[in-house]
Amino acid sequence: MAAIEMLKGMISDAGSIVAFTGAGISTESGIPDFRSPGGIWTRMKPIQFGDFLASAEQRRESWRRKFASEDTMRSATPNAGHRALARLHEQGKLLALITQNIDGLHQASGVPDDAIIELHGNGTYASCLQCAKRYELEWVRGIFAQDERLPVCQSCGGIIKTATISFGQAMPEAAMERAHAATSRADLFIVLGSSLVVYPAAGFPILAKRSGANLVIVNREPTDMDEIADLVINAEIGATMSRAVGVN
Ligand code: NAD
């Protein structure tokens, strides 16, 4: 396919690549995305951060959902798309990997923490909203298994939540600053598996373009940003990226 050859050429010419991933890069690992047909949002409404804080029932519902999806999340392993990005990192070409995902699969593929910028936090553990103390999900599960008791911070009594950023919750400042700096320095910015509708995250491809980078979008479906992209590939990420980077 000519478009993949074009992407291959852009990757080989680039010095500083920033990858920007969304839920679509993990569907080939068995984790459903939000907005595809049959995706999570077609089945249930997200719980807003304000409602989580205000209502014990909403907190219980949020833990019910978490533990219902936890086995899928825990058994998922990185796929060809994750591995292609890990290879770009090994080659020294990946300046940063900005992700909206919370599944930890980029880390599992071998990309070091310092190259990964998690805009929406991490769903593989929990933390106290007041003092930030970390808690493992197994510990929360043990408490919740007793008549859906809600976990409370052992140090400060604060509310415990998965370490993710919910709708309505403030974005993590340090991650936003790092993402901004990396995007401004990129000469190639590749979007992989994002519908590009969740802001402020979706502002980064626009910033990349304004800062002079080539913008590539790899996504099954068209996005609203296709018109500003230099190359759009509407295909599966795993097959596309393994051919473009030359890995399996
Ligand atoms: P989204 O669900 O809005 O969009 C995913 C996009 O990926 C869709 O346009 C879909 O067509 C495309 N896609 C799906 N599988 C693909 C594949 N194999 N190849 C190519 N394209 C594919 O996801 P989003 O833009 O990331 O925004 C939703 C929010 O959901 C994010 O903020 C993220 O935090 C969260 N989320 C994360 C996970 C995860 O961590 N794996 C899963 C679900 C949702």
Determine the pLDDT at residue 34: 82
Determine the pLDDT at residue 40: 64
71/88 same-domain check: no
How far is it, in rounded angstroms, from Cα 64 to Cα 56? 12
68/100 same-domain check: no
The boundaries of the domain holding residue 221 are: 1-31+78-120+171-248
157/82 same-domain check: no
Instruction: Tell me the CA–centroid distance for residue 125 and ligand 1, in Å.
Output: 20
Which ligand 1 atom is at minimum distance from the Cα of 103? 40
Instruction: Tell me the CA–centroid distance for residue 122 and ligand 1, in Å.
Output: 15
Domain count, the chain: 2
Chain center to CA of 229: 21
Closest of 184, 228, 219 to residue 27, by C-alpha: 219
Task: Please identify which residue in the block is written with the tokens 């080539």.
Answer: 214
Model confidence pTM above 0.85:
yes
Residue 82: give its domain's CATH number: 3.40.50.1220
Ligand 1: residues with CB < 6 A are 22-24, 26-28, 31, 33-36, 39-40, 100-103, 120, 193-195, 198, 219-221, 236-237
139/224 same-domain check: no
195/240 same-domain check: yes
Q: In what order do the strands lie in the sheet with 121-128?
A: 134-135, 121-128, 160-164
Determine the pLDDT at residue 191: 98
62/150 same-domain check: yes
24/53 same-domain check: no
Which ligand 1 atom is at minimum distance from the Cα of 220? 21
Number of H helices, E strands in the chain: 9, 9
Chain center to CA of 165: 11
Name 213's Cβ contacts closer than 8 Å, sequence gap at least 6.
18, 183, 186, 187, 188, 189
How far is it, in rounded angstroms, from Cα 45 to Cα 81? 28
135/230 same-domain check: no
**Tens of pLDDT, residues 82-128:** 999 999 999 999 999 999 999 999 999 999 999 999 999 999 999 99
Domain end marker among 105, 140, 164 = 164
**Tens of pLDDT, residues 168-183:** 999 999 999 999 999 9
Annotated active-site positions, please? 120
CB 7 within 8 A of CB 73: no
Those residues of the chain that have pLDDT short of 50 are none
133/231 same-domain check: no
90/42 same-domain check: no
239/139 same-domain check: no
